[in-house]
Amino acid sequence: MEHQASLQLTSSGADYSAHQKIGLAFIGVGLLALLITFLGEGALNPTVTLALSLAGLLTGSGILFARMLHQPAGVNNNGVWFSGATARGMAGWILGIVFTGFYILLYWTPSNLEQLIRGTDALSYAIRGSAADQWFLYGLFYTLAVLVMGIRMLIKYRDNRYQILRTISVMFFQLGLAFLIPNLMVLLNQPEFYFSYFWPLKYDYLWPSTFSSLTQGPGLGIFLLFWTAVMTVIATPVLTYFFGKRWYCSWVCGCGGLAETAGDPFRHLSDKSARAWKIERWMVHSVLVFVIVTTLMLWGNQWMGGGLLGGMSQEFSRWYGFFIGLIFAGVIGVGFYPVMGSRVWCRFGCPMAAVLGLLQKYFSRFRITTNGGQCISCGNCSTYCEMGIDVRWYAQRGQNIVRASCVGCGMCATVCPRGVLRLENGPLEARYNGPVLIHHDDMSVQLDETWKQSRPLMPPVQEDLPILTDDDL
């Protein structure tokens, strides 16, 4: 009898860990080879060790992903809060420190990464005709992370076409527009230009320095300026009007692309509290003001021939580049994935997200609709919202979700076990539907209104945080 039970165990339990062990062994070898490259001081050929490392990492990931294919398709977040790596355990903190450390080396002491950089020389010569630098290494790692973890997304969400298309899209934009094309442009003696980034995310694209270098530089410069201006001023509002900010944040953007792929295992770590929401609104709009002021100052200074506030505008732009561009977007934005979730930068710092958010909130057809009274308040939607939106708050009272920060990743709708949420583009009327009555035939809206008049309503509590005023009558 004992035997029978253990036989059953073999078919589902033990098999799993054997498979997992092989995959992890390959990843271990890959990491070791990476470490050897990093510390190798040229004793071993870095091209060989780096190639070995990537081969190990890719094979190991492939083996682990193949396991997912054996499980029936469908939402599977089993054990997310049990694993140290995804639940801020020891492994999570170590990962966070490694990611953060990498950014620090990359920005401040790239010489420490010399061997890794040399390891990518061969590839760099092949696609851009010159030796690699730390930015090439970074771009390569970044793109690989999006591609490999993108494949994981494709497998994990293989029964959901919205997730599939969206993931293919970010993989395409990262590989094509944020990696190959800019490097090929270098090869062709053109400016290294990123077609998928615009001001104010790529803040310097509307700074006078970029204007002068593009207009005076070789070839395509004027076209590139035209592209930047059109995308920033025309395409952004128009596309956001029709589709919401998701057209950019979860379909095109590289920061979003990394968050949606490499960041997927950490999405539930975002803070859902009303307090965090308040901080978010202050912070992200402050950054937007900062970048607008900086840009205006630079132009003012340019126009007045350096007369505006002396060197202040240069100083301002240097600070912006340092604190926002480097520390916030990079070190904190990605380094803190395993601690604060995958969208820290997008949520608290990105000025592009702030612009798109304002457009989305006040001038867009996009909203998430809720399905009558079907919500069981389980909390899956809020938990897996990487932007920390308390989706359940709205869903359980039958209210549409119209939030500036929503990047339209669709994950709330995907994980909802009751089919309550749907991302939609629709007419502006009734987009803010207010908390509607949820399936109570006995109480028509009219009855509620007369009732309100016949007895004094409690004054709403704490108006400053709308999330706390519970007025779903």
Partner 1 sequence: MARHIVIIGNGITGITAARFIRKLSDDRVTVVSSETDHFYARTALMYIYMGHMRYQETKPYEDHFWSRNRINLVRGYATQIDPGQKVVRIADGNDIAYDALLLATGSQSNKFGWPGQDLLGVQGLYGMQDLTLMERNTRNIAHAVVVGGGLIGIEMAEMLHARQIPVTFLVRENSYMDYLLPKEESALINREIAEHGIDLRLNTELKSIRGRKTAEAVETSQNERIECQFVGLTAGVHPNIDLAKASGIDTNRGIVVNEFFETSLPDIYAAGDCAEFNADGIGSRRIEQLWYTGRAHGKVVAKTLCGHRTPYQKGVFFNSAKFFTMEYQTYGDVPAQSEPHIRSRLFQSGRKLLRINSDRESGRVLGFNAMGVRLRQDQCEAWIRSGTSIKNVLASLGKARFDAEFYSNAVYRQAAAV
Which amino acid makes up residue 236? T
Single out the residue of 179, 96, 198 nearest to residue 141, CA to CA. Answer: 179
132 Cβ neighbours under 8 A, 6+ residues apart: 117, 118, 120, 121, 123, 124
Question: Per-residue string for binding with partner 1, 258-287, x by CB under 8 A?
Answer: ---------------xx-------------
Strand blocks (E) in 221-309: none
Q: Does 269 bind ligand SF4 (CB under 6 A)?
A: no
385 binds, among ligand SF4, partner 1, none (CB under 5 to 8 A by kind): ligand SF4
In angstroms, the CA 301 to CA 130 distance is: 36
- Tokens in use for 112? 């420490």
CB 416 → partner 1: shortest distance, Å?
A: 9
CA distance 255 to 95: 19
Tell which positions 373-432 bind ligand SF4, by CB under 6 A: 375-381, 385, 387, 389, 391-392, 395-396, 401, 406-412, 416, 418, 420-421
CB of 385 to ligand SF4, least distance (A): 3
- Count, residues near partner 1 per rule CB under 8 A: 69
Binding mask 67-106 for partner 1 (x = CB under 8 A): -----xxxx-xxxxxxx-----------------------
Say whether 49 sits in a helix, a strand or coil: helix
**Ranges within 408-427 binding partner 1 (CB under 8 A):** 410, 413-414, 417-419, 422-423
CB of 370 to ligand SF4, least distance (A): 7
80 binds, among partner 1, ligand SF4, none (CB under 5 to 8 A by kind): partner 1
Among 16, 135, 362, 363, binds partner 1 (CB under 8 A): 16
Residue from 407, 429, 394 nearest 244 by CA: 407
Per CB under 8 A, contacts with partner 1 among 367-406 are 371-374, 376-380, 382-383, 392-393, 396
Nearer Cβ to partner 1 (45/371): 371
449 lies in the binding site for partner 1 (CB under 8 A): no
Cβ-in-10-Å burial (0-12, 13-18, 19+) of 171 comes to buried
Residue with tokens 């140290």: 84
Burial of 446: CB neighbours in 10 Å, binned 0-12, 13-18, 19+? exposed
Looking at beta carbons only, is 142 or 393 nearer to ligand SF4?
393
Q: Is 318 in the site for partner 1 (CB under 8 A)?
A: no
Extract the tokens encoding 173: 């934009």
- Cβ closest to partner 1, residue 356 vs residue 368: 368
Q: Does 183 bind partner 1 (CB under 8 A)?
A: no
H/E segment holding residue 366: strand 366-370
Smallest gap from residue 399 Cβ to partner 1 (A): 13
Least Cβ distance, residue 251 to ligand SF4 (angstroms): 12
Q: Which helix (H) or strand (E) holds 422?
A: strand 421-425
* Residue at 69: amino acid letter: L
Residues 40, 336, 250, 378, Cα dihedral to 10°: 130
Q: CA 334 → CA 252, 269, 303, 388, distances in Å?
A: 18, 13, 37, 16
**Does 162 engage in binding with partner 1 (CB under 8 A)?**
yes
For the CB of residue 356, give the shortest distance to ligand SF4 in the complex, in Å: 12
Q: How far is the CB of 360 from partner 1 (least distance, A)?
A: 17
CB of 296 to partner 1, least distance (A): 39
By CB under 8 A, which span of 8-16, 178-186, 204-212, 251-259 interacts with partner 1? 8-16
3-state secondary structure of 44: coil
Q: How many whole angstroms separate alpha carbon 285 and alpha carbon 119? A: 41
Point out which span in 55-63, 138-146, 158-166, 203-211 binds partner 1 (CB under 8 A): 158-166
Among 322, 432, 457, 466, binds partner 1 (CB under 8 A): 457
Among partner 1, ligand SF4, none, the one that 406 touches (CB under a kind-dependent 5 to 8 A) is ligand SF4
> Which two structure tokens, joined as six digits, stand for 95?
């990962």
Task: Write down the residue that tokens 């549409």 correspond to.
Answer: 400
Region label for 388, one of left (φ > 0), alpha (ψ between -120 and 50) or beta (otherwise)? left
- Residues in the chain, overall count: 473
Amino acid at 343: R
Q: Confirm if 100 and 70 have CB atoms less than 8 A apart.
A: no
3-state secondary structure of 190: coil
> Rule CB under 6 A: is residue 253 a binding residue for ligand SF4?
no
Binding flag, residue 222, partner 1 (CB under 8 A): no
Whichever of 117 and 407 has its CB closer to ligand SF4, that residue is 407
| Nearest in space to 256 (alpha carbons), one of 381, 159, 160, 142 | 142
Residues near ligand SF4, by CB under 6 A: 375-381, 385, 387, 389, 391-392, 395-396, 401, 406-412, 416, 418, 420-421
Residues near partner 1, by CB under 8 A: 1-2, 4-6, 8-9, 11-13, 16, 72-75, 77-83, 159-162, 165, 273-274, 371-374, 376-380, 382-383, 392-393, 396, 410, 413-414, 417-419, 422-423, 438-443, 451, 454-458, 461-462, 468, 470-471, 473
